[in-house]
Amino acid sequence: MKKLLVGIIGVLTVLIALPLLSAFEAHIINVSATIENALSVNTTALDFGTVFPQEHLKQPLTVQLSNSFLAEGRVDNVEYFIRQKPKCAITWDGGQSFDAGSTKTGHVMAGDNPATPAVHESYWIDCGETPRALDTEKGEVWGVLPSLCEYLSKEAVTEVGRSPNDETQPSFHVPFKIFHGDNQSTPDVVETDWVYWKDTEGVLSKTHPIDPVDNWLIDLAVPCFGGHCAQDWADFVHRLNPAADPTLFIQPIENEHKVFGCDLWVEVSAVI
């Protein structure tokens, strides 16, 4: 009888102590872990293959609400943007061949690269660790690919034309810029340099208006290379982007025949 009583008291003590510990944790030991209302998706490879200067090629990209989101009744709209980031890869043959299965997104870091003290940069691209061991005999190198981002357009289309609630970004633009000083839009953080991204915004909606799918066309306007540009290069650029300066988008001749790359990320900015 005495043992039973002791046992019951023990169990009751634990049962009482746990909610007390929980309350203690909630009010005094303030540790929180929350899932952010955000999602970043790196698209599958949109392979344009071997291309020629001033070619204009198109690839589709579909962004939609997932089945699990449509099944939920709580939320309605999702605001997102498409961001272009540098692509890192293992290359050989002087950058003319690459391992498509071992690529990573490069992180744009504002400021001077501490690893290159002899050179002063306004930004640098951090590719991180190589995803596999390099075959040095083959001449493999891990690094950032020449950028294709400037030459990719993003246009949201519907059966009757352009989507009314999504932005359009023509080819021949600068995918990001580095600004010096503090970014006023992030008052919680004090920066000396920061990155401004030229994003393309889109909206998905379950109701009012019903827009659960955005069909994007990703166009590649192939650049020409220094000294080898056709006479109508400026017309080609202005036809696609009247505001662009054609001279800024001519690639150096040493990049001819190289593999170019750009990682497209779809990032959710708000759930309403």
Partner 1 sequence: MEQEQSIATEKNKLSFANKVILVILAIVFIFVFYLTLDANKYRALVQVVEGEGQIGVNPTASALDFGDLSRGSSAVRRVALTNGTRWPIYVLAFKTGNIRSLIDIDENYFRLEPHSSTKIEFLTYIPASAKIGDKYQGRVYLFKVPLLF
Residues in contact with partner 1 by CB under 8 A are 14, 17-18, 21-22, 25, 28-46, 59-69, 72, 74-75, 78, 80, 204, 266, 268, 271
Do residues 100 and 90 make contact, with C-beta atoms less than 8 angstroms apart?
Answer: no
**Sheet-wide strand order for 97-105:** 97-105, 87-92, 141-144
Shorter beta-carbon distance to partner 1: residue 66 or 122: 66
Minimum separation from the CB atom of position 270 to partner 1 (A) = 9
Instruction: To the nearest 10°, report the CA torsion of 114, 177, 226, 257.
Output: 70
**Closest CB to partner 1 among 90 and 244?**
90
End-to-end CA distance of the chain: 60
Tell me the C-alpha distance between 126 and 140, whole Å.
18
Cα–Cα distance measured from residue 161 to residue 158, given in angstroms and rounded to the nearest whole number: 5
Closest approach, Cβ 65 to partner 1, in A, equals 6
Minimum CB separation of residue 171 from partner 1 in Å reads 18
Q: Residue 48 or residue 233: which is nearer to partner 1 going by CB? A: 48
Cβ closest to partner 1, residue 132 vs residue 177:
132
Q: C-beta of 30: minimal distance to partner 1 in Å?
A: 3
Contact 90, 140 (CB under 8 A): yes
Q: Using the minimum distance from each CB to partner 1, give the nearer residue, 36 or 137.
A: 36
Find out whether 104 and 42 touch, Cβ atoms under 8 Å: no
State the minimum distance, in angstroms, from the CB of residue 194 to partner 1. 18
Residue 10 and residue 21: Cα distance in Å, rounded? 16
Task: Tell me the HSE value of 260 on the side-chain side, using a 13 A CA sphere.
Answer: 24
198 in Cβ contact with 169 (< 8 Å): yes
Of residues 150 and 214, the one with the C-beta less far from partner 1: 214
Nearer residue to partner 1 within complex by CB, 70 or 174: 70
Instruction: Say which DSSP state 209 is in.
Output: S
Rounded least distance, CB 269 to partner 1, Å: 9
DSSP class of residue 7 equals H
